[in-house]
């Protein structure tokens, strides 16, 4: 009994600092001007909460927030809301991904309130992959909203304390609002315009798609900075840890929106130890991204490579010795349970 109470307290929200919207650590790190690192958890195909904690622990001390993906690739997994609820109970700082594929505006607004009630402080709005690419291609795609109108919806709930229908909320959700951008695929010229649209709709931070092409990123960021967009929005650039040249090719050909230049694949192919080289590539890209004006952090997507995230962060040195807060106090307790 006592133990549980202790654990529950770890996830208690922090006071909202001036100029902040949420009660979470992630927003504090960014607003304090630190270079942030985030990563993501692939929710388990399981009803065992320990599987979530085992995955989260891999990142202890190296990331500021953990995204819980929402049926990514249109495949069925534990819900992002549940993953986040487990994580907040243990003091982690999760980012709940909300995709528009599976729920209409009624369900989504309910989940927004539910997430805030469970101590989630950050939300990432996505349109979502189409059902046809996942393991249930016969499902009905919903797409009642899209990523921009979803941002707008949550912003209305937070800032105007009401549902879309106008019905007032008794307590509004204090959520730090984010969305995604993919500067690496057409229409490349208009991706900055789209970023502007997302910021207008409420995005306060962005986590981008995989960046393997620094030139494209630089020209995108330059325009974003010139248009003043990075003043109102923190840009976290996505990076990936590849497994091998073969899997990089597979990723490029089969996962929508992934752009990997041939030079990267050739370099991997030529390496003796492809796995180690992939980590080198990732760390190098991270270092270079950190130097680009307007960038506030890195988002590491390491599907099935989660155990290497900490190493890559260490190797890249982007944290400059800073140690992101981790729920140290419960470490032993979780291990006991495992």
Partner 1 sequence: MYQVRLWSARHSCALERIYNIINPAVLVFLRATTKIFGRRLDKPITLVERTVKQFFFDCQMCGDCVLSKTGMSCPMNCPKTIRNGPCGGVRADGMCEVEPQMRCVWVEAWDGAKRMKSGDNIKQTLLMFDHRNKGKSSWLKVARDE
CA distance 119 to 327: 15
> Among residues 147, 204, 274, 296, which is the contact residue for partner 1, using CB under 8 A?
147
Is 149 a binder of partner 1 (CB under 8 A)? yes
> Among residues 68, 145, 302, 319, which is the contact residue for partner 1, using CB under 8 A?
145
Least Å from the CB of residue 250 to partner 1: 16
Angle between helices 309-316 and 274-291 (to 10 degrees): 50
- Residue (200 or 290) nearer to partner 1, CB: 200
Least Å from the CB of residue 143 to partner 1: 5
> Among residues 34, 197, 222, 249, which is the contact residue for partner 1, using CB under 8 A?
197
Least Å from the CB of residue 99 to partner 1: 10
Least Å from the CB of residue 187 to partner 1: 5
> Among residues 9, 46, 161, 189, which is the contact residue for partner 1, using CB under 8 A?
189
H-state helical runs in 179-260: 191-201, 214-226, 245-254
Helices and strands (DSSP H and E) totals, the chain: 13, 8
- Residue (219 or 315) nearer to partner 1, CB: 219
DSSP letter string, 302-314: -TT-GGGHHHHHH
CA distance 35 to 169: 35
Biggest alpha carbon–alpha carbon distance for the chain: 62
Residues 70-129 close enough to bind partner 1 by CB under 8 A: 100-101, 105, 127-129
# residues near partner 1 by CB under 8 A: 37
Task: Give the containing element (helix H, strand E) for 114.
Answer: helix 105-117
Q: Which two tokens stand for residue 279?
A: 């980590």
Angle between helices 214-226 and 191-201 (to 10 degrees): 50
CB 320 within 8 A of CB 29: no
Region binding partner 1 by CB under 8 A among candidate stretches 32-40, 222-230, 253-261, 308-316: 253-261
Is 228 a binder of partner 1 (CB under 8 A)? no
Region binding partner 1 by CB under 8 A among candidate stretches 43-51, 87-95, 175-183, 217-225: 175-183
Is 232 a binder of partner 1 (CB under 8 A)? no
CB 277 within 8 A of CB 268: yes
CA distance 107 to 292: 39
Long-range CB contacts (< 8 A, 24+ apart) of 251-256?
A: 255/73, 256/129, 256/133
What SS3 state is found at 83?
A: helix
Least Å from the CB of residue 240 to partner 1: 14
Is 229 a binder of partner 1 (CB under 8 A)? no
Is 223 a binder of partner 1 (CB under 8 A)? no
Least Å from the CB of residue 194 to partner 1: 8
Is 256 a binder of partner 1 (CB under 8 A)? yes
- Residue (53 or 74) nearer to partner 1, CB: 74
Task: Give the containing element (helix H, strand E) for 103.
Answer: none
- Residue (241 or 260) nearer to partner 1, CB: 260
Is 166 a binder of partner 1 (CB under 8 A)? no
Is 257 a binder of partner 1 (CB under 8 A)? yes
Least Å from the CB of residue 105 to partner 1: 7
Question: C-alpha angle with apex 183: 180 to 184, nearest 5 degrees?
Answer: 120
- Residue (99 or 230) nearer to partner 1, CB: 99
CA distance 238 to 125: 15
Q: Which residues bind partner 1 (CB under 8 A)?
A: 100-101, 105, 127-130, 132-133, 141, 143-149, 152-153, 180-182, 185-187, 189-190, 193-194, 196-197, 200-201, 209, 256-257, 259
């Amino acid at each position: 009994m006592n133990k549980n109470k202790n654990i529950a307290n770890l996830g208690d929200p922090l006071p909202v600092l001036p100029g902040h919207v949420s009660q979470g650590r992630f927003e504090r790190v960014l607003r304090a001007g630190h270079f942030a690192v985030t990563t993501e958890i692939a929710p388990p195909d399981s009803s065992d909460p320990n599987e979530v904690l085992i995955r989260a622990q891999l990142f202890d001390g190296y990331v500021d927030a953990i995204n819980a993906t929402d049926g990514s690739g249109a495949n069925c997994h534990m819900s992002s809301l549940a993953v986040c609820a487990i994580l907040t109970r243990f003091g982690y700082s999760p980012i709940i991904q909300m995709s528009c594929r599976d729920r209409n505006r009624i369900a989504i607004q309910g989940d927004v309130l539910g997430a805030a009630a469970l101590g989630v402080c950050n939300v990432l709005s996505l349109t979502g992959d189409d059902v046809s690419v996942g393991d249930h291609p016969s499902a009905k795609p919903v797409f009642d909203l899209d990523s921009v109108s979803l941002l707008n919806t949550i912003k209305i709930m937070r800032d105007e304390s009401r549902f879309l229908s106008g019905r007032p909320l008794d307590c509004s959700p204090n959520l730090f609002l984010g969305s995604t951008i993919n500067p690496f695929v057409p229409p490349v010229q208009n991706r900055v315009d789209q970023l502007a649209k997302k910021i207008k709709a409420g995005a306060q931070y962005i986590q981008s798609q995989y960046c393997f092409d620094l030139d494209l990123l630089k020209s995108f960021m330059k325009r974003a900075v010139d248009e003043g967009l990075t003043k109102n929005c923190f840009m976290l650039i996505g990076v990936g840890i590849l497994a091998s040249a073969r899997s990089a090719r597979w990723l490029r050909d089969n996962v929508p929106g992934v752009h990997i230049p041939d030079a990267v694949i050739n370099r991997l192919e030529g390496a003796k130890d492809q796995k180690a080289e992939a980590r080198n590539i990732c760390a190098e890209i991270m270092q270079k991204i950190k130097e680009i004006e307007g960038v506030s952090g890195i988002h590491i997507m390491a599907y099935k490579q989660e155990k290497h995230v900490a190493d890559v962060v260490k190797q890249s040195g982007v944290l400059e010795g800073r140690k992101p807060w981790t729920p140290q106090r419960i470490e032993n307790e979780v291990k006991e349970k495992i």
